[in-house]
Amino acid sequence: MAAEGADYAQPTPRRLYIHDDLTAEVALDRGTGSPAAALATALLVLLARDRERVRVLTLHEQVERVAAQGPHAFFDAAIGIGAAGERVARTLHARTGWFPRIRQVGLTREEDGRGRYRLVGEGGDLKARLADLADAASLAVVDDTVFSGLTMRGLIEALPDPVRPRTRAFCLRGVGESIATVAALCPITAGVVAPGRLLEDVSFINASGLVRRIAIRRPGRPPLAFFDRPEWIRAWFPDAHAEVLALCRRLNALLEPERHA
């Protein structure tokens, strides 16, 4: 029998970008001197050891790169895609003042069990939820990452026709070829743009997804962390995968103790 998740095998990318959304969050939640904070820091140091291939990104760096591509007049409305997109919109607004009116639209990518992904929304028909935006004078669509582009494109394509010419997308980071597919629908501003082919040349992951069971969504089943797919860790970190897995498991036991009860 094939291993669970075998249809979603990950190649070893020539360049791997890791957004550090872990160390500051764990230090804030558990304390800077806590064992969890020490493990989170040790994990990011270990991941960054492969300087030729791995790049760790900070939130500040990415926000500043987006802000530097302004200014923009404030947008009449802003949509944050999921909780992550809303957080990015609020962080960018605090820096730039571009998004005074932000609302979240729940939309995420989920494995379909057949080696592909599908969009899953919250709250009913997506087009119906966005229908009231038809008269918006300007609209921003904000997400943290444009990876495959599936989520961002899905939301933009569901917008009312009248507002699309007045829409601009924003993200902190993304794969160049995927950002190009979004740019075919509307202008997009991205902080860090990585050239190359998706997965083979370049990949993006969040550090939190390595240790928290939030990263891999599956239909009708609990989400997984990346460490639950050890073959992915082996592909991403071929020279240190055993150490990475051990640290991820230790940190998960501290952050999600209920899973280990």
User: DSSP of 227-249, one letter per residue?
Assistant: GGSHHHHHHH-TTTHHHHHHHHH
DSSP letter assigned to residue 32: T
Confidence class of residue 5 from pLDDT cuts 50, 70 and 90? Answer: low
CATH of domain 69-194: 3.40.50.2020
pLDDT score recorded for residue 165: 97
Q: H helices within the chain, ranges in order?
A: 23-30, 35-47, 59-67, 82-96, 126-130, 150-158, 176-183, 207-211, 230-236, 241-255
Residue in the structure block whose two tokens are 């669509």? 141
pTM: 0.94
Residue-range domain boundaries for the chain:
6-57+198-260, 69-194
Q: What is the mean pLDDT of residues 168-194?
A: 98
- What is the Cα gyration radius of the chain? 19
Residue 34 burial (CB count, 10 A): 14
Instruction: Give pLDDT tens digits for 28-83.
Output: 999 999 999 999 999 999 999 999 999 999 999 999 999 999 999 999 999 999 99
Please write down the long-range contacts of 118-121, taking CB distance under 8 Å and 24 or more positions apart: 119/150, 119/151, 119/154, 120/217
